[in-house]
Amino acid sequence: MKKISIVAISLVLIFAIGISSISCAQNTKATLEGGALLYTLANNSSSYRFIVMYKDADGDLPKYMFVYINSSRRPMVKQDITDNNPKDGILYVLSLTQDELSQFTRGTSEHNVKYYFRTNDGHGIVSTEESSSMTLDYEQMGLVMEYSSGSGGTCGR
């Protein structure tokens, strides 16, 4: 009877270990795409938006979404609060005024901003590389960006 109990317990443990290994191996790591600091200019004032796209092939929602600005952590929010589909991507934003951003750059120039994004899908931490680039926010300023191939232009005609 003792041998049967030991064999049964051993089989249960082996089965449990096998199932946990399978469930861990099936998770796909979440990704953060297009992380950027966008700025707008209006009436001698600037405003800023940190944006990043969260994607998870497994459909896991993030436990949190942060942007670290000069080592200071700030929570981000979904651009569309009804968007709950991480498989096709959820856009997260943090909007700041010029005064709010300047709090992170005290003692340095306004353009001395270093930032990165960080999240956790419940299976591990995902971060982007640190960046210091800023891009004009064409969409918020109502501008259209035109591209030219350089051939057939009308310049000088």
Is 139 in a helix, a strand, or coil? helix
Query: Model's pTM, two decimal places?
Result: 0.73
122-147: pLDDT as tens digits: 999 999 999 999 998 877 666 666 65
Instruction: Write out the two tokens for 46.
Output: 């600037």
Mean pLDDT, the chain, rounded, equals 83
- Specify the CATH class of 31-138 in words: mainly beta
- Round to whole Å and give the CA distance between 37 and 133: 7
Q: Locate the domains of the chain by residue range.
A: 31-138
- Round to whole Å and give the CA distance between 132 and 114: 5
**Could you tell me which residues are beta bridge partners of residue 126?**
119
- Round to whole Å and give the CA distance between 44 and 25: 53
